[in-house]
Amino acid sequence: MSIDFTEQESEICNILRKVTTYLKETKNLPLVELRIAGGWVRDKLLQLECHDLDVAINSLTGFDFANYIKEFLEKEGNNNQVNIHVIESNPEKSKHLETATMKLCGLDIDFVNLRKEIYEDSRIPVSLEYGTPEEDAYRRDITINALFYNIHTGQVEDFTEKGISDLSEGLIRTPLSSCKTFKDDPLRVLRCIRFASRFHFEIVDDVKDVILKDESIKVALNEKISRERVGIEIDKMIKGPDPVQAIDLIVNLGLYDVVFSPPPQESIVSGNLGAPKNCLIVAKILSWLLSDKSKDYNIHIIFHQLNENEKRALYLAACTLPYKDMTYTEKGNSQPAYQYVIRESIKFSNDDVNKVKKLLSSVDFVTKAVSQNNEVLTDRRGLEIIYLIIGLCIRELNSEWPTTLLFALSNELRPYMDQVKEDKEIKEINNKYTKFIERIYELKLENAYREKPLLNGKDIQKLLNIKPGPNFRDILNSIMEWQLEYPNSSKEECQEFIKNKYNNLQ
């Protein structure tokens, strides 16, 4: 099979070939052979762009070879500074090989020696020797990542004899028995899921069976792999092309509470873990609502304008939905359990916690507001009430109101999604949310969260002749509610309202 190179990639290969010739002519070393390994070969065969080059070396460490590149370039008169960074091996964390990274022709390249791992009844290799390409290929995670491109022969090499066919047939398979592959590095369980969802491939049955039935693999994933590494895989899944397939596999392979592990049992205050299938149902609904397939069901166009970060937050909220009603104690305070899951189980940021908190904690509030808007009459008094309902809703949700509405809609549709999409209930719920959003724009309330009170603190002090205190927050909230209910009123009318309402404070 042939590979099409960019000019940059061709230049890199030319330099690497020249370096091996230089070593052959000037150094007393075994013959050095170089192969581009793994993901770059896979993506090139799939005709996808790839900017991650991993070069495997048969007889030198990555660091030694990178230094020889630097030496060669300096002899050739390249005066640009070349920096080499080393990522140390860490067998306890299943990082068995030292990797050297350097920039070449503007591209970061990783250099590592071909691996041959020697085990003595242990999950950690007792020694790492230079391996053959075949030995290295069988130690990789999946067959489609075990392909090599030999830069000397210009050939794609498939030492497992399954990589190219699995790539063609859309299959995820481990080179060795999946039990051995996963015990070598349990994170590979999640990598199988990630690559399946990335390429819309199918994990073969024997791999699924091991993940589902071998509890020791789940224990190793939970205990041996750092939560940061787990989080990196999850982040790539929910930002990838098919988060639903990834979530489906996590749930149906029995990995939900391994990946999204709960707070320590002794810290749980109230609530139970909801059914993991609920997060999958909501994720499927989100995917449908965000796709063109939903346009025939009166879904508001604003939901098709969300950016990638907003979509990521929605899928993260779906992932943690089963923890919505569980609380735990942290530093003496009761907190939602999903906070622990996001911050500790997958090591995401506090910003992620806040985004998910907004989505999950607002579901009931939003559902009620949308229903009230649907029920209120549109006479003068009804319109004033609608102004208040929607205005308070937008102020509570801030600029995240479109994503929060979409999440609430997804949750409200959850009981009906096992039925046919033409169901009357589904159309009625969609129409209710579309009507709510149309009303937001009709009343020009889309930016209500930016609106300032007609009266500020100094105005209140002067008007009521009182000093700042705990009552001020209530007064300011009353002002905003009044403004929203009577949107065209003046500052003087607002002053009159406040004097009448709070005359007991004067």
Most confident region among 43-57, 110-124, 127-141 by mean pLDDT: 43-57
pLDDT tens, 3-61?
889 999 999 999 999 999 999 999 999 999 999 998 999 999 999 988 889 999 999 99
Is residue 268 classed as helix, strand or coil in its secondary structure?
Answer: strand
The residue assigned the tokens 């025939």 is 296
Residues 6+ apart with CB under 8 A from 447: 394
Distance separating alpha carbons of residues 203 and 195, to the nearest angstrom: 9
Tell me which H or E stretch contains 505. none
Residue predicted with more confidence, 126 or 265: 265
Distance separating alpha carbons of residues 393 and 371, to the nearest angstrom: 12
258's tokens: 């391994």
pLDDT tens, 414-451?
988 766 455 788 888 999 999 999 999 998 999 988 98
pLDDT attached to residue 120: 44
Q: What does R_g of the chain's alpha carbons equal in angstroms?
A: 30
The residue assigned the tokens 């007792």 is 126
pLDDT attached to residue 128: 55
pTM across the whole model:
0.88
* pLDDT range class, residue 187, cuts 50, 70, 90: very high
111 forms beta bridges with 55, 100
Residues 6+ apart with CB under 8 A from 167: 42, 45, 46, 144, 147
HEC secondary structure over 99-164: EEEEEECCEEEEEEECEEEECCCCCCCCEEEECCHHHHHHCCCCHHHCCEEECCCCEEECCCCCHH
In this predicted structure, the answer to whether residue 500 has a pLDDT above a threshold of 90 is: no
pLDDT attached to residue 122: 46
113 forms beta bridges with 57
* pLDDT range class, residue 232, cuts 50, 70, 90: very high
